[in-house]
Amino acid sequence: MSLSREEILKISELAHIKLAEDEIETFRGQMSSVLAYVGQLSEVDVEGIEPAAHITGVSNVLRDDAVLAADPATRAALLDEAPAREGDLIKVKAVFK
Amino acid sequence: MEPLHQLTIRQAADGLRDGKFTSLQLTEACLERMRSVDGHVHAVLEALEASALEAAKASDARRAAGGALGALDGIPLMVKDNMQMKGSRTTAGSKILEGYKSPFDATAVARLAAAGAVILGKANLDEFAMGSSTETSAYGPTRNPWSLGKIPGGSSGGSAAALAAGMCLGALGSDTGGSIRQPAAMCGVTGFKPTYGRVSRYGLLSMASSLDQIGPFARTAEDAALILEAIEGEDPLDSTSASRARYAAPRLPSEGLKGLRVGLPKEFFAEGMDDGVRARVEEAAKEIERLGAELVEVSLPSAERALAVYYVLMPCEVSANLSRYDGMRFGLSVDAPGLKETYFETRGQGFGREVRRRIMLGAHALSSGYYEAYYLQAQKVRAKMKAEFDALMRDVDLLLSPTSPSVAWDLGEKFDDPIAMYLTDIYTVTVNVVGAPAVSVPCGFANDLPVGLQLIGKAFDDALVLETARRYQGATEWHLKRPML
């Protein structure tokens, strides 16, 4: 399975990742070779097998629906990591124009 | 006696107990060793000298007051830099987290601290643990202490190299497809990947959540068990952490390995392995047999598909997990006109090539029209592998194989060839896909470089895996070899 230049550009859109011009062709070759390798999975007979997202067998681990507040120092440290702030709010780019 | 920084944890714990030296002396010996050799090895991203000395003094004070905590009290350890630790920077080897300071502790790190361990620093790694050579770190590669022109393995190459070079007595790593066992093999130390769920992943920067597991590096399997006992157990902060019984004594006779059935999967001994690796592993198998175990040839046909399953599931989980690095709440944020441009620039500049490649592979495999062929199919093959593995493990107690098909290779040798790099995980990924425990122990040398023996157990049989490794080390001396640095 070989990816086209257009497909690489589409995937970079999906992944929100900018590629440099010279990387487009490099990634095209490398990702195509990985997809060719994993393509062998289509040869495996999986008739009647349920997919396994994980192997623990646990499902729906629940906790009380309660707010667990961080201590003030941790809260401050978390906020300190934000690239842009206004007071105790994290400032982000406008989502809507 | 060996220099303090070369002691095993057990030896150091005994020495501390008997008052032969203090934790402060032990810690200073490791820090001094780090200062003298890490300029060559580059295993450490951040040395935590001040807090380590403080923790060592606190340990000595506890002991003096008769309140020593246990085997790890006062023992200097290193932590892979993809685990949160308050007061440290946590970069995961990525530019996107340059300067990020941990606001909280990973559970495994908190448990080490609660056991009295001294954390010396944060160890280098492949960026976000993606790689098999520690070359994808944005902060430069780590070198193999046995031969500085060689890679140390990866992704936990800094942890393995720091231990092999004598900068610490043990270390934490994380293993998603072999990232503890493979560098342990390449650096000639013991590395253990616990059963999935045995150690909480809380505070481990997620790579592939259904595969990631934290585990120990140590000079002996006995030491690895000491670290495991400190960090394992259920954690309300990780819903996949297991409530199963804690580390328990295994079902073995008081000495030797009589009664143990060890399977040699023929798929793991097919072509593609270096002759030197094959010879050392076959010698190790004979030694296990000499100790009383019964060797049987077995077959795990689906193991041949494990790498393909892994290289679908892992990038899919990576692409979801790394969407959090968006330049909004923490880490690098490249200023650009709009929201979308900010995402593109931040992630384009902040992530290295291997990380971007894997995110994009995952985004593609999960996208409309491809999901069934890749992700869903891989999940089904995974279920089939797990069933096959469980059935096989009803017949044998352990599986034995090489850890890696080769010894450490030259820096740069496979850097631009992802498939060649990925193929080096061929013997380790099966274990992650089925969630089993496995250890790599030194079993000799090929071309003067360490070879690793892998022992794989059934889920939650961690104690049997480590005890078998301990008895192998009781009969061999490969784990006592140290590189000349």
Interface test with A, best of B330, B334, B349, B368 (most A CBs within 10 A): B330
Tens place of pLDDT per residue across chain B (485 aa): 789 999 999 999 999 999 999 999 999 999 999 999 999 999 999 999 999 999 999 999 999 999 999 999 999 999 999 999 999 999 999 999 999 999 999 999 999 999 999 999 999 999 999 999 999 999 999 999 999 999 999 999 999 999 999 999 999 999 999 999 999 999 999 999 999 999 999 999 999 999 999 999 999 999 999 999 999 999 999 999 988 766 666 778 888 999 999 999 999 998 889 999 999 999 999 999 999 999 999 999 988 999 999 999 999 999 999 999 999 999 999 999 999 999 999 999 999 999 999 999 999 999 999 999 999 999 999 999 999 999 999 999 999 999 999 999 999 999 888 888 888 899 999 999 999 999 999 999 999 999 999 999 999 999 999 999 999 999 999 999 999 98
Cβ contact A81–B319 (<8 Å): no
Cβ contact B381–A93 (<8 Å): no
> Quick check: A93 contacting B, CB < 8 Å?
yes
Residues with Cβ within 8 Å of residue B237, at least 6 apart in sequence: B107, B200, B202
CA end-to-end distance (rounded Å), chain B? 19
Interior/surface letters B43-69, b for 16+ CB within 10 angstroms, e for the rest: bbbbbbeebbbebbbbbbebbeeeebe
> Quick check: A92 contacting B, CB < 8 Å?
yes
Contact B232, B198 (CB under 8 A): yes
- The CATH architecture to which A5-42 belongs is Orthogonal Bundle (1.10)
Confidence at residue B254, expressed as pLDDT on a 0 to 100 scale: 87
Return the residue matching tokens 């060649």.
B420
Which of B302, B347, B374 lies closest to A17 in CB terms? B347
Number of other residues whose CB lies within 10 A of the CB of residue A49: 15
Kindly list the domain boundaries of chain A, sorted by start residue.
Answer: 5-42
> Quick check: B65 contacting A, CB < 8 Å?
no
Cβ contact A14–B418 (<8 Å): no
Q: How many CB pairs under 8 A join A and B?
A: 168
Which of B103, B242, B307 lies closest to A78 in CB terms? B103
Query: Nearest C-alpha of chain B: how many angstroms from A12?
Result: 6
Using a CB-CB cut-off of 8 Å, the residues of chain A touching B127 are none
Q: What is the pLDDT of residues A9-32, one digit of tens each?
A: 999 999 999 999 999 999 999 999
d(C-alpha A28, C-alpha A40), whole Å: 19
| Number of separate domains in chain B | 1
Sign of the C-alpha dihedral computed for residues A73, A75, A76 and A77 taken in this order: positive
Contact B201, B213 (CB under 8 A): yes
Residues 187-246 of B with CB under 8 A from A: 196-197, 209-210, 236, 239-240, 242
Cβ contact A84–B333 (<8 Å): yes
What does the DSSP 8-state code read for residue A51?
P
> Quick check: A28 contacting B, CB < 8 Å?
no
B155 labelled catalytic: yes
Cβ contact A52–B344 (<8 Å): no
φ and ψ at residue B415, rounded to 5 degrees? -60, -35
Q: Beta strands of chain A (E only): which ranges?
A: 85-86, 89-90
d(C-alpha B120, C-alpha B91), whole Å: 16
Residue B303 lies in a domain: no
Query: Nearest C-alpha of chain A: how many angstroms from B312?
Result: 7
Which of B333, B345, B380 lies closest to A51 in CB terms? B380
**Domain extent for B188:** 4-256+461-480
Using a CB-CB cut-off of 8 Å, the residues of chain B touching A95 are 339
Beta bridge partners of B204: B83
Return the residue matching tokens 């990232």.
B179
d(C-alpha B479, C-alpha B41), whole Å: 20
Q: Which of B59, B88, B159, B179 is catalytic?
A: B179
- Say which CATH number the domain at B82 has: 3.90.1300.10
Using a CB-CB cut-off of 8 Å, the residues of chain A touching B88 are none
**Bond preceding residue B155 cis, omega within 30 of 0:** yes
B380 labelled catalytic: no
> Quick check: A17 contacting B, CB < 8 Å?
yes
Return the residue matching tokens 């003030």.
A72
Residue B442 lies in a domain: no
Query: Nearest C-alpha of chain B: how many angstroms from A79?
Result: 8
Residue A1 has pLDDT above 80, yes or no: no
Checking ipTM against 0.90, whether it exceeds it is yes
Confidence at residue B249, expressed as pLDDT on a 0 to 100 scale: 67
Mean pLDDT of A72-76: 94
Query: Nearest C-alpha of chain A: how many angstroms from B359?
Result: 7
Which of B239, B339, B422 lies closest to A94 in CB terms? B339
Residue B123 lies in a domain: yes
Q: Of B122, B121, B115, B123, give the one whose Cα is nearest residue B58.
A: B115
Q: How many CA atoms lie within 13 A of B355 on its CB side?
A: 32
Element (H, E) at B157: helix B157-164
Query: What are B73's two structure tokens?
Result: 């009290």
Cβ contact A92–B328 (<8 Å): yes
Interior/surface letters A7-45, b for 16+ CB within 10 angstroms, e for the rest: ebeebbebbbbbbeeebeeebbebbbbbbebbeebeebe
Residues with Cβ within 8 Å of residue B112, at least 6 apart in sequence: B72, B77, B79, B119, B172, B227, B230, B231
Cβ contact B361–A35 (<8 Å): yes
Residue B359 lies in a domain: no
Report the SS3 class of residue B38.
Answer: helix
Q: Which of B23, B59, B88, B155 is catalytic?
A: B155
Confidence at residue B271, expressed as pLDDT on a 0 to 100 scale: 82
Maximal CA-CA distance, chain A? 58
Strands B214-218 and B190-193: antiparallel
Residues 17-56 of B with CB under 8 A from A: none
**CA dihedral of residues B39, B411, B160, B285 (deg, nearest 10):** -150
Query: Nearest C-alpha of chain B: how many angstroms from A89?
Result: 10
Cβ contact A44–B240 (<8 Å): no
A45-48's contacts with Cβ under 8 Å and 24+ in sequence apart are: A46/B377, A46/B380, A46/B381, A46/B383, A46/B384
B366-373's contacts with Cβ under 8 Å and 24+ in sequence apart are: B366/B316, B366/B319, B366/B320, B367/A11, B367/A14, B373/A42
Confidence at residue B417, expressed as pLDDT on a 0 to 100 scale: 87
Complete edge-to-edge strand list for the sheet that includes strand B76-80: B44-47, B118-123, B76-80, B170-174, B214-218, B190-193, B438-446, B449-457, B398-402, B261-265, B294-298
What does the DSSP 8-state code read for residue B90?
-
Query: Nearest C-alpha of chain A: how many angstroms from B211?
Result: 8
Q: How far is residue B262 CA from its own chain's centroid? A: 23
Residue A59 has pLDDT above 90, yes or no: no
Q: Which residue of A has its CA nearest to B327?
A: A83
> Quick check: A89 contacting B, CB < 8 Å?
no
> Quick check: B435 contacting A, CB < 8 Å?
yes
d(C-alpha B8, C-alpha B227), whole Å: 12
d(C-alpha B247, C-alpha B192), whole Å: 14
